[in-house]
């Protein structure tokens, strides 16, 4: 079943307590596409870059089975650029700079071959553009997942709320859930957000795992305690990619299957943070992924008998 991924394909400059990078390849759709490709190969990507973007990385995406027909390359323009600095605990960061560049006048065009996809992953992007993608599709996908961030809540809240009203699953982090709902308690925040449109909400809590809510239930996935965490950039996107990639592979969008999907998503995020940028998500084997998922299973499995 086809999966359409939308989001930024970008340059990032990152500073963490362990080092600093110059411009490296990043972007929400880059991480999502790579992470999802370990579960599902029928992936279309819609995004935009300038002619400064490296062909090598596009070849890597193609080699992972990501179809780039919907990736516009704008002559004489610059790719989206983001830079951020992480605090010492690596759980929070400050955005130092966001240059929209090609994103400023981006008009997404969904290729004919991707107009009837069953799974749509709207990665972090201008909320109105995310909505433009939904309206170009010839049929409503089985599942629409949306990821966003505080940046859009700050400058385009109204547009974001319109987009959120059209989706099935929203993935945001804990501070964004508080900002969106105006509630400190994440349980209350979830109740409010689930009234805005989505039937399911994922709240990502960095090294403290992720919560999955629907109207009646809540489920928790831990984050793996890792020896080396270098760069959390893209962890949320890799999580989203693993989540929707697994759902597209298994074709099952029940809440029970979403519980499994957030474990697969957490496993992909755990790879991403081990190196700077997208490096760790390239060239993993099926065995690497299986072993990592098994580590999650072992981490939380326990026997309790209450009799």
The terminus-to-terminus CA distance of the chain in angstroms comes to 45
194-227 burial code (b ≥16 CB/10 A, e <16): beebbebbbbbbbbebbbbbbeeeebebebbeee
User: What are 213's two structure tokens?
Assistant: 């809510």
The H or E element that residue 12 is part of is strand 10-16
Nearer to ligand AMP, 27 or 141 (CB): 27
Per DSSP, the three-state class of 91 is coil
Answer for which of 46, 177, 237, 273 binds ligand AMP (CB under 6 A) is: 237
Site string for ligand AMP, 135-174 (x = CB under 6 A): --------------x-x-----------------------
Question: Which one of residues 234, 241, 242, 245 is an interface residue with ligand AMP (CB under 6 A)?
Answer: 234
Nearer to ligand AMP by C-beta: 22 or 287? Answer: 22
Answer yes or no: are the C-beta atoms of 21 and 91 closer than 8 Å.
no
Q: From the list 37, 124, 132, 181, which residue makes contact with ligand AMP (rule: CB under 6 A)?
A: 124
User: Residue from 90, 122, 125, 258 that binds ligand AMP (CB under 6 A)?
Assistant: 125
Measured CA to CA in angstroms, residue 182 lies from 41, 167, 186, 188 at distances of 39, 21, 10, 9
Nearest to 27 by CA among 14, 10, 44: 10
User: Which of these ranges, 39-47, 136-144, 210-218, 228-236, lies near ligand AMP under the rule CB under 6 A?
Assistant: 228-236
- Residue 251: CB atoms within 10 A of its CB come to 11
Q: Which one of the spans 66-74, 136-144, 227-235, 285-293 is the region binding ligand AMP (CB under 6 A)?
A: 227-235
Residue 201, strand partner residues: 170, 213
Segment interacting with ligand AMP (CB under 6 A) among 8-16, 45-53, 181-189, 251-259: 8-16
Helix and strand element counts for the chain (H, E): 9, 14
Sort strands 210-213 and 218-221 into parallel, antiparallel or unpaired: antiparallel
Please give the residue whose beta carbon sits closest to ligand AMP in the complex.
Answer: 26
Residue 235 as a binder of ligand AMP (CB under 6 A): the answer is yes
| Shortest distance in whole angstroms from residue 65 CB to ligand AMP | 21
Tokens 């300038």 belong to 50
CB of 145 to ligand AMP, least distance (A): 14
**Contact with ligand AMP (CB under 6 A): which of 82, 86, 230, 296?**
82
When binding is defined by CB under 6 A, the residue of 16, 27, 38, 221 that contacts ligand AMP is 27
**Residue of 171, 233, 266, 270 that binds ligand AMP (CB under 6 A):** 233
Sheet of 43-50, strands arranged across:
66-74, 43-50, 3-6, 119-122, 143-147, 169-173, 200-204, 210-213, 218-221
206 lies in the binding site for ligand AMP (CB under 6 A): no
47 touches ligand AMP by CB under 6 A:
no
By CB under 6 A, how many residues form the interface with ligand AMP? Answer: 17
Nearer to ligand AMP, 42 or 237 (CB): 237
State the nearest-atom distance from the C-beta of 208 to ligand AMP, in Å: 15
Of 3, 10, 143, 203, the one binding ligand AMP (CB under 6 A) is 10
Residue among 280, 263, 265 nearest 229 (CA): 280
Residues that bind ligand AMP (CB under 6 A): 8, 10, 12, 26-28, 82, 98, 124-125, 149, 151, 233-237
């Amino acid at each position: 079943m086809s999966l359409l991924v939308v989001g930024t394909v970008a340059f990032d400059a990152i500073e963490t307590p362990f080092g600093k990078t110059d411009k490296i390849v990043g972007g929400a759709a880059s991480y999502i596409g790579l992470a999802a490709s370990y579960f599902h190969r029928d992936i279309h990507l819609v995004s935009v870059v300038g002619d400064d973007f490296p062909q090598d990385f596009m070849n890597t995406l193609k080699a992972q089975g990501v179809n780039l027909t919907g990736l516009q390359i704008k002559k004489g323009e610059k790719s989206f650029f983001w830079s951020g600095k992480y605090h010492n605990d690596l759980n929070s960061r400050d955005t130092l700079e966001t240059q929209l560049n090609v994103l400023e006048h981006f008009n997404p065009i969904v290729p004919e071959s991707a107009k009837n996809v069953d799974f749509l992953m709207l990665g972090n992007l201008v909320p109105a553009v995310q909505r433009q993608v939904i309206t170009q599709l010839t049929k409503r996908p089985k599942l629409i997942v949306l990821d966003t961030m505080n940046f859009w809540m700050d400058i385009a809240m109204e547009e974001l709320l319109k987009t959120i009203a059209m989706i099935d699953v929203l993935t945001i982090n804990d501070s964004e859930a508080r900002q969106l709902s105006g509630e400190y308690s994440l349980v209350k925040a979830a109740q409010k957000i689930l009234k805005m449109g989505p039937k399911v909400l994922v709240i990502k809590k960095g090294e403290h795992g992720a919560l999955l809510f629907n109207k009646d239930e809540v489920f928790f996935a831990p984050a793996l305690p890792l020896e080396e965490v270098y760069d959390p950039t893209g962890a949320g996107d890799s999580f989203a990619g693993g989540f929707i990639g697994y759902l597209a592979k298994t074709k099952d969008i029940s809440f029970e299957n979403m519980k499994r999907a957030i474990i697969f998503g957490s496993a992909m995020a755990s790879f991403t943070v081990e190196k700077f940028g997208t490096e760790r998500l390239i060239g993993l084997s099926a065995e690497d992924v299986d072993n990592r998922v098994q580590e999650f299973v072992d981490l939380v499995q326990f026997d309790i008998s209450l009799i």
